[in-house]
Amino acid sequence: MLRTVVGKQLDHDPNFRWRGEAVTRIENLSDIAFALALGMLISGVDAPTNYLGLKKFLGSIVPAALGFTVLLGLWHSHYTFFRRYGVADGRILFLNAILIFVVLFMAYPLRFAFDSLFAFITLMFTGDFSRSAELGVSSMQIAGEFVAYFSLAYALAFAIFAMMYGHVLKRADLLALSPYELAVSRQMRTVRWLQFVISVVTASIAYFTPLGPIAGSLLGTFFLAYFWAHRRHPLPPGVVMADDHTSV
C-alpha cells in the first residue's frame, strides 16, 4: 500500500492508473544496464593525487553531472513507461533491448562529448587550450562532430520511446486506457518524435555547418515539444491536470 502511494507521488500524475505494480525481470535488467552506464560515465574521472590533479578533477564535475542528468532522464522515462503500462510482450522486449544497447553504447561517448564541449567553452572564455589539446578538440568542426554523435544517440533513444508509446496505443483497448490516459499517451508519443526530430536536426547542423558545437543549444528547445503535444492532443474536459506530468 505504501509503495503504491509513494510511487504515484513520484509519477506526478495521480490521474494515470499504474498497471505495472510488480517489477518485472526486463525492468531489473534495464536498471542494471542504466546503473552500469552511470558507473561508466563516472569511472572516467581519475582520483586526484596532487594539486593539478585536483583542479582537473574539479573541472570534470560539470561534464560528468551533465552526462549523469541525461542518463537519469532516460531512466526516469523508462521507469514511468513500465509503471504506467506494465507491458512486456515481444515488441516491447525487442525495443527495450535496443534501448539498453544504446544506453550502454552512449555512456563513454556521452562523457567524452560533454568533456570536449566543456573544454571548448573553457577555451573560448579563458584561452586555456590545455584541456582541449589533451582531448584533441582543436577546432569548431571537431567539437561539432562530438555534438553530432551525441545528438544522434539521443535521437535513437527518443525514437525507441516513441515506438514503445505507439505500441501501447495500439493496445489501448486491451489496456483499458481511459480518455485521459489515452490523451497523455498520445502526447508522450508526439513529444518523443518531436524530440527525435530536434536531435537529428541538431546533429545535422553540428556536423555539416560552420556552427559546429553551437548547434547543441537547439537541444534546449525540447520543452517546446510538450506545448505542441498538448495542443495536438488536448486532455478531455473536466480533468484536473497534475502539477508535473509533462516532466516524464
Digit-coded pLDDT (tens) for 44-99: 666 667 766 666 666 677 778 888 888 999 999 999 999 899 898 999 999 999 99
pLDDT of residue 193: 98
181 occurs within a structural domain? yes
pLDDT of residue 88: 87
Q: Which grid coordinates belong to 8?
A: 504515484
20 occurs within a structural domain? no
Which residues form the domain of 135? 25-247
2 occurs within a structural domain? no
pLDDT of residue 165: 98
147 occurs within a structural domain? yes
pLDDT of residue 189: 97
73 occurs within a structural domain? yes
pLDDT < 50 stretches in the chain: 1-6, 243-248
For the chain, the domain total comes to 1
Asked if residue 100 lies in contact with residue 66, where contact means CB atoms within 8 angstroms, the answer is no
12 occurs within a structural domain? no
pLDDT of residue 54: 66
9 occurs within a structural domain? no
pLDDT of residue 246: 42
State the residue for C-alpha cell 537529428.
200
Asked if residue 84 lies in contact with residue 171, where contact means CB atoms within 8 angstroms, the answer is no
pLDDT of residue 243: 47
User: Which among 156, 141, 149 has a CA at the least distance from the CA of 108?
Assistant: 149
215 occurs within a structural domain? yes
pLDDT of residue 22: 72
pLDDT of residue 118: 74
Put residue 139 in one of left, alpha, beta given phi > 0 → left and psi -120 to 50 → alpha: beta
User: Which among 216, 220, 227, 217 has a CA at the least distance from the CA of 187?
Assistant: 227
CB-neighbour burial class of residue 69 (10 A; exposed 0-12, middle 13-18, buried 19+): exposed
